[in-house]
Amino acid sequence: MAAYPTQRCAFPIKEPLTFHAPLPEQVEPCTVIAADGSQIPPSRHEAVDFGLVNVGIFHMAPGETPSEQVISQLMIGDALYSSQGRLTEDMISVMRDVGERTALAGMAASEIGAVVTLTDGGLEIFREPREDKGFQKYFDQYVDSLRTMARLRIATAAYVDRPRADLVVRLLELMLPVAEQGLVSFSDRPLGGVTDAMLYSEVMQPGERSAVLGIQSLSARDFTDEISLCFFYLNVASAGAKPYLARVEIPAWVADSPDLLDRVHSVLYSQAQLFGIRPYPYALHRAHEVAVVRYEEREQVEMMINAELMAQGMPIDTTSNKQSGKNLPGRTRVES
């Protein structure tokens, strides 16, 4: 691996690649706090040029009625611009990621007792342009919130459903003789198309996790020391069911602590079991429900902004001709 420092792949830490651990037997009941975000990117084609980041928090403590909270950030006017110019969709995504993480850190810090915080997707932030000063500011906030959690020893994890990653597979490829030829194009790769989940689903029983592995990549270098990125695979299927693997990304301070690691392992499996025949962490789904901004809600926000603009005697605009055409009834094409 030292010979391939820029190759994005997994690397073993303490446990061998073939290691798999059963569900921990006794883990104390703990509070689960999940966060998810949604966003409305600004669009010059809409009647009102605004952006919105919505973060939904779902709090679930043993023996208590769960609670929801939503944190909204509306961007309009000057707030749509950074020092580099107009906010891009990527920048708004970063703002959303930071919003989720800082909200979790804040809530978890005030908890008494064991707690696990969850987000959907990876711990890394893959956004461009990375050289944007605005991005750096948000990235620094993101890292700060992770380090705060590390200081408070809060168990945190990011859950990736139906992972297509091949981090372990790429590691295996590095061990093959063909590695010396340089694995550039997909067609050259001897194991191209094989995912980690395909490998691990052959050996992991329901409830088991794989070895905890580190992530080597250019972007992962931004996460150092206690927030270095690690991951494991978890079979969230019920007993007797077909394997269903998720990838769980955790920071090093969780990976290095057997208690925190067991807690994350146990909580994620039990949360997924709550969801019935399509296992997925219940708290994450509810956080998504809280955060999501539906089309009708977007329209309502637009109407409210227009009403306020009119009340202040300011002109209001209409949708662009292009968007107006798209909005005509009878459109059958599905927009992604």
Site string for another protein, 224-243 (x = CB under 8 A): --------------x-----
Minimal distance in Å, beta carbon 66 to another protein? 4
Which residues within the stretch 98-127 sit at the binding site for another protein (CB under 8 A)?
none
Q: CA–CA separation, 283 vs 285, rounded Å? A: 5
Residue 233: strand pairing partners? 247
- Residue 29's contacts (CB-CB under 8 Å, 6 or more residues apart) are 62, 114
Residue whose CB is less far from another protein, 85 or 276? 276
**Does 246 sit near another protein (CB under 8 A)?**
no
- Closest CB to another protein among residues 122, 206: 206
To another protein, the closest distance from the beta carbon of 307 in angstroms equals 20
Among 26, 177, 278, 295, indicate the residue that binds another protein (CB under 8 A).
Answer: 278
| Smallest separation, CB 229 to another protein (Å) | 31
Provide the minimum distance between the beta carbon of 267 and another protein in the complex, in angstroms, as a whole number. 13
Site for another protein in 50-89 (CB under 8 A): 60-68
Kindly tell me which of 257 and 273 has the beta carbon lying closer to another protein. 273
Three-class secondary structure of residue 102 per DSSP: helix
Phi-psi region of 191 (alpha: psi -120 to 50; beta: other; left: phi over 0): alpha
Give the closest residue to 135 by CA, choosing from 77, 85, 73, 74. 85
In DSSP notation, 266-305 reads HHHHHHHHTTTTS---HHHHHHHHHH---HHHHHHHHHHH
282 sits near another protein (criterion: CB under 8 A):
yes
Judged by phi (left if over 0) then psi (alpha if -120 to 50, else beta), residue 31 lies in beta
The radius of gyration of the chain's CA atoms, rounded to the nearest angstrom, is 22
Q: With contacts defined by CB under 8 A, how many residues of the chain interact with another protein?
A: 20
**8 A C-beta contact, residue 139 and residue 93:** no
Q: Does 276 bind another protein (CB under 8 A)?
A: yes
Residues at the interface with another protein (CB under 8 A): 60-68, 238, 273-278, 282, 285-286, 289
